[in-house]
């Protein structure tokens, strides 16, 4: 079974600085998708960024980028120029052939002004 591990329950960053959230996963599949979702206090799940495992190039969405290391099964999220609105729970998720998504336990990000 696929598992997703987020080893940082909480992270803190100064406004305008850069922070990296870690995620590792375990799978025997060769083709899969990885996601980062943001969950603000409203509890809405918002897709931040996605990565297809067959693509070597790291995905980038404005201030958000990933460092995808397939061999190491690592999928970290980098947030540049952090803003107060980035404060939220961040969940790493894996989706393989069986269509359901496996989520990590989440990392709570605090942004200090």
Partner 1 sequence: NAGVMQNPRHLVRRRGQEARLRCSPMKGHSHVYWYRQLPEEGLKFMVYLQKENIIDESGMPKERFSAEFPKEGPSILRIQQVVRGDSAAYFCASSPLPTARGGLNTQYFGPGTRLTVL
Alpha carbon distance 15, 86 (integer Å): 9
- Residues 6 or more apart whose CB falls under 8 angstroms from that of 26 comprise 2, 3, 5, 73
Q: Name the minimum Å distance from CB 28 to partner 1.
A: 17
- 100 lines the binding site for partner 1 (CB under 8 A): yes
* Residue 18 or 30 with smaller CB distance to partner 1: 30
- 44 lines the binding site for partner 1 (CB under 8 A): yes
- 68 lines the binding site for partner 1 (CB under 8 A): no
Q: Name the minimum Å distance from CB 5 to partner 1.
A: 10
User: Which one, of 53, 7, 51, 3, lies nearest residue 26 by Cα?
Assistant: 3
């Amino acid at each position: 079974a696929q598992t997703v591990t987020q080893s940082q329950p909480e992270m803190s960053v100064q406004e305008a600085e850069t922070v990296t959230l870690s995620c590792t996963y375990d799978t025997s599949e060769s083709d899969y998708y990885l996601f980062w979702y943001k969950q603000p206090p409203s509890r809405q799940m918002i897709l931040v960024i996605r990565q297809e495992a067959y693509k070597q190039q790291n995905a980038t969405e404005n201030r958000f980028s990933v460092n995808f290391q397939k061999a190491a099964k690592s999928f970290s999220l980098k947030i540049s120029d952090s803003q107060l609105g980035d404060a939220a729970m961040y969940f790493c998720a894996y989706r393989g052939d069986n269509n359901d998504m496996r989520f990590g336990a989440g990392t709570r990000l605090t942004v200090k002004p």
